[in-house]
Structure 1
């Protein structure tokens, strides 16, 4: 017989052990559910939102949903995230390439993708009966990396083409990116009103396209004499001359994209051999010199980088060397006063703050007319409607350098043999949208660059290098 006191102690110990086992079981169940929820949200941000709220609700809410912390006075203001981070995070393996679709293989590519999806459904067994967002999350948790919608198995890259095809169309995108593009078309935040596209339109060849850019795109920056800035006390902080009057002409220039395919490229020495080098936003060089070089002549930054806390624009040494050129998208038909009162991000407040800290560093702001002139050239040369959003920084920077240089080499804007879903060489963020576009009309920009390229396809495949002539080298007197 166990004494009463001892029995009480045993009973208490047994109850504690039982509670501990239950606690461990509940914690394990909680961790599994949280992991599933994380995978569900990360893998299916667009589909899950659509399923719960509907496409229209997401479209209406998008300007508010994708916001960043505002660091300036004046309270909260709707702001957009880095367009390259849309439409969602796809964690994964950077060694799996994104095949570049080419027009002749479109049917074969579609058949291949449908067969692949069928096999994936079979491998899931019972779970294939669940809604697609849940199966995608389960694939992430238990099936290794879920391949992107445009990522194929080994051999698909060769099937779909080694080098970017200038016939690339939104119809070749996966359903996720097609939905994202359609949503941005419906939003039309900037009030774009054009109908200048036709499926029967004759495409301009490379030389004519280059001359069209030269004649119809004017690279201009803000100066103190422009209204409404001339009446403002801080107007003296603006450079008195146009950017093109102060910089260049350069003989040879490099435009270095921030693409993940620059990782392990070994292009650093080649890039630094150019007289001038353009980089974008927060792309670093320290620690990446072997692949991207160390020279920075001009850095093109968007207003979001200037305003977000994450990028530490006012305090980081990344921005304090070389020439800065900033841009912010204005409404399509707005004048400078309307734009000043309705910027996407507080570019002018941050500009003034930065100039007080670095009064001697050259710092220009692009005239918003330039961005929409470039956009119109893209739309005019496409047989379908493109996103009604500004061009990417990559394409704007390329056109900018064509106005300053005799020859421009653009690195990894068109993906090389190293093509990957890794968005930036300095981050571990994976999404096919970074190569194919969602917010920006990136896919169409690449079509134009491919058409204007004066280098070889081998240069693109091996080095990701496109060769473009500067505007000063073009003879556009005929036609």
Structure 2
């Protein structure tokens, strides 16, 4: 007769088996959860989407910009649900209240990843890289990216934009310095018109009214205009109202031009998406000085953009945005920093100090306390509007009444410090693309052609002044400009036919 297990013992054995099964299920669930999170983090990293945004369905919100309902209606159609992105991914936005977000500058059919239809992504770089991207099939990856917000279902280019950027697009092989807003597609044309109608900074300028009747200035004449009329100035402690502030001692005692340079050759490295796969890194690093912009990184992109940074020009929006970690990121601790913030058109320093777009002075003081030894300058706001006047005065149509881009400011800054300046991908090369920045995956033709900034007209000006060949622009996206100190305006004017 077999031994019978007592009922209490049976209950304990049964309980142990149940606990064991639950433990196995828990371990399996935890393993699946970890795998899911690994996939999520990988996809988010590859598509520049914050993980929390992917989980909670909020697309890269920012508190750095105000709402712009009129622009949204043009770009996305009336009644469309607003979608938010990091303003630094945009070609130009409306500065204002830092407590309010800004809608995306894109239409409902213009996707974050529309660049996959562009010629620059015909290589394998079109697809994300990584172990999980290799393991997960394309259909499943596309579905996951759509769910997680890395891609939107509609990835088609707008017709007008495709006609501009295609192989036989209106932009052509080399930038035409006769480009105007009339050549833009319907969407971009409306965007530019809206920005042209705005006048946040109180611009009062009538010098361009007769532009169509004036003789078109030559490249040498434009160079002499910039040399004579745009003066690179930075704030010093003796300037009012700063002289009366205790923190004025944090400002450099001498202007930037006295402390930095002169350099023989300089590289101005734009943040353009067309730098991807350019292989220009070694050439860029061979220059005596290199200027970069805002949050543009070098780590991981050295082959295309190099690693040297002599000057980093940043706008006050980057300094104030929590997303860019200005006070803590090591990105900004290399080289000399130069910050700028647009002032009202006719204001003096007193008015500007009380009416900055973003808290540039508060952030400046905080950063200087953390990095007292790093050279850090603030650009005088008159520089921006001096440069804006030169652009407007040499264009036959009204331009946006907003300050020039950081790219053009940085170019003129280096022309004041260097004998020769090479500007990379400010004028797009054969790699021209709608991809806004080489380090992000956000696409919009306005990043090349302008929206908030008068980019289209800036490029016209630079193309006219270029002393290099069209071949350099086509193959390398490289423009060659002389430094102001080496350019002889008297000889140039006398040699004019």
Short-chain TM bin: 0.7 to 0.9
Match of 2:403 among 390, 409, 412: 390
User: In 2 relative to 1, CA 96–408 (structure 1 residues): closer, same or farther, beyond 3 Å?
Assistant: farther
- 8 Å Cα contact 1:283-1:426 kept in structure 2: yes
Q: What is the aligned partner in structure 1 of residue 265 from structure 2? A: 252
Aligned equivalents of 2:78 and 2:102: distance in 1? 23
**Counterpart in the other structure of 1:188:** 199
The equivalent of 1:124 in structure 2 is none
Can you list the C-alpha shifts for 1:161-189, whole angstroms capped at 9, x where unaligned? 20000000011111211221222222200
Counterpart check, 1:78 vs 2:97: yes
Aligned residues: 381
CA shift at 1:195, angstroms?
Answer: 1.9
**Which whole-Å CA distance do the structure 2 matches of 1:385 and 1:97 have between them?**
31
Q: Cα deviations across residues 361-405 of structure 1 (Å, max 9, x unaligned)?
A: 000000000000000000010001000000000000000000000
* Post-superposition offset of 1:48: 6.6
- Picking from 128, 150, 155, the partner of 2:161 is 150
Change (3 A) 1:460 1:46: farther
Give the distance between the partners of 1:304 and 1:255, measured in 2 at CA: 21
Q: Which residue of 1 aligns with 2:295?
A: 282
Deviation at 1:146, TM superposition (A): 3.2
Distance apart, 1:90 and its partner CA: 3.2
Cα distance per residue 1:246-280 (max 9 Å; x no partner): 00000000000000000010000000000000000
**Alpha carbons of 1:85 and 1:410: their partners in 2 closer, same or farther (altered >3 Å)?**
farther
Is this contact kept in 2: 1:67–1:79, CA < 8 A?
no
Partner of 1:403: 416
1:174 to 185, 210, 213: 185
Is 2:380 the partner of 1:373? no
Q: Using the alignment, how far apart are the partners of 2:203 and 2:119 within structure 1?
A: 31
> Aligned to 1:277, what secondary structure does the other structure show?
strand
Deviation (angstroms), 1:47: 3.4
1:232 to 233, 240, 245: 245
Coordinate RMSD, CA, aligned: 2.9
Give the gaps of 5 or more residues in structure 2. 1-56, 58-70, 88-95, 121-151
Moved more, 397-406 or 201-210: 201-210
Check whether the contact 2:165–2:433 (CA below 8 A) recurs between aligned residues: no
Give the Cα–Cα distance (whole angstroms) in 2 for the partners of residues 329 and 388 of structure 1: 11
Task: Answer whether contact 2:85 2:104 (CA < 8 A) is retained.
Answer: no
1:196: how far off?
Answer: 1.8
Aligned to 1:449: 462
Q: Work out the CA distance in 2 between the residues paired with 1:312 and 1:194.
A: 37
Question: Which residue number corresponds to residue 74 of structure 2?
Answer: 47
Asked if the contact 1:229–1:235 (Cα under 8 Å) also holds between the matched residues in 2, the reply is yes
- Where 1:373 maps in the other structure, the secondary structure is helix
Residue 215 (structure 1) aligned with residue 228 (structure 2): yes
Residues 309-458 of structure 1 correspond to what in structure 2 (within 5 A)?
Answer: 309-458=322-471
Closer/same/farther in 2, CA of residues 98 and 399 from structure 1, 3 Å limit:
farther
Shift of 1:151: 1.2
SS at match of 1:468: strand
Aligned position for 1:463? 476
- Deviations along 1:234-255, one digit per CA (max 9) or x if unpaired, are 0000000010000000000000
**Offset of residue 45 of structure 1:** 4.2
How far the C-alpha of 1:149 sits from its partner, in A, is 2.6
Worse-matched range after superposition: 44-53 or 297-306: 44-53
Give how far 1:79 is off: 3.8
Distance 1:402 1:302, change over 3 A: same
Equivalent of 2:306 in 286, 293, 311? 293
Q: Deviations over 1:183-232 (max 9, x none)?
A: 22222000001122222221110011000000000000000000000000
Distance 1:83 1:406 in 2: 41
Q: Is the 8 A contact 2:164 2:170 kept in 1?
A: no
Corresponding residue for residue 306 of structure 1: 319
The CA deviation at 1:160 is 4.9
CA separation of 1:153 and 1:452: change in aligned 2, threshold 3 A: closer
Alpha-carbon distance in 2 for matches of 1:219, 1:288: 30
Match among 173, 177, 187 for residue 162 of structure 1: 173
CA–CA distance in structure 2, aligned partners of residues 153 and 237 of structure 1: 47
- 2:119–2:431 contact (8 Å) kept in structure 1: no
Q: Residues 389 and 232 from structure 1, CA distance in 2 versus in 1: closer, same or farther, beyond 3 angstroms? A: same
SS at match of 2:220: helix
